[in-house]
Structure 1
Amino acid sequence: MQYEQLGDHYVVRLDEGEEVLWTLRRFLVEHDILAGRFMAWGTFRGLRLQHNRPVAGRYEPRVVDLEGPLEVASLLGNISTLDDEPVLHAHVTVGDAAWRTYSGHLASGTVGPTLEVVVKVLPRALHRFWNDRLHVAVLDPEEAPEEAERLEAWP
């Protein structure tokens, strides 16, 4: 991975074989980035997509593993924290050599040969909290009231 900071943006190049989410999470920790958004272009050697389907009022994940090369048509995501750890929430659309497209949550992915990422840093932390009813970590865009107050206020 190589990067350059340009104001409140970082331009990051991931190299072949790097695991995207793990590498970006490490980058966020090293640069103390607690909130932001990102977009990326490039190719995956392979990836795991997740689709959360509603079942009985909550979300249950389904996953599929895809082998590449897979061209990134769109990779967009946000950066927040859960229990003071960085969380990357990313959606991706990729295409294969037969012109088929696949999309969903990016659960994991291996770069091949390169992935170019632009990260926009936001000025304060964004937090998530676990919602038992939905069975997902939801974003709390407001400045942090205490965790208990957020959970009590959630429908």
Structure 2
Amino acid sequence: MDQKLIQQVTKLVTELVRNERKRQFANEQTWRVKNTKLLLKNYDILTEHSKDIDTDIDRYLNDVFSKDDLKLRSIAGYKARTKKMMEYTDLMLQAYHNYSQKRDDATKRRYYIIRHLYVEPMKLTLLQIADHFGVSERTVMRDQKEAVKEFSIFLFGIVSLEEMVS
């Protein structure tokens, strides 16, 4: 092969690899935001489900199940992981709150939206939140979307931060 053909092939392969990485990156970003929103939408159910779970799995299993029953052990493990996930979520909600208190009014509003649409026992509607802040419902919907992305950074760390920058 001549040098010019090798350069063209190399350029084409590089372009294909770059495009594939961008596609994978976009899929991961979509996955994180989707999972964050799913977690928030089901916050009440997951919190209630994990309230009375003992996270010391082995002690729990010794008291209730025989160690030979792998299916029951697996179910207990899922419940324990759910409890730990919800503890982590609450910790990240607190971190998001602390972050928002040091930022501008829009960031504080986005935290408020997450809190009152998903977390608080008495949920507010988009219209109620819009009235509270004296903004339009479209602004609240835009803030909701942005808040889920911001909260994803707290849940998933540096990878989500890289996604926000790009």
**TM-score per shorter chain, which class?**
under 0.3
User: Structure 2 length as normaliser, TM-score?
Assistant: 0.18
Which structure features the higher share of helix residues?
2
Which structure features the higher share of strand residues?
1
| Structure ranking higher on relative contact order (CA contacts 8 Å, 6+ apart) | 1
Query: Which structure has the larger Rg over C-alpha atoms?
Result: 2
User: Structure 1 length as normaliser, TM-score?
Assistant: 0.19
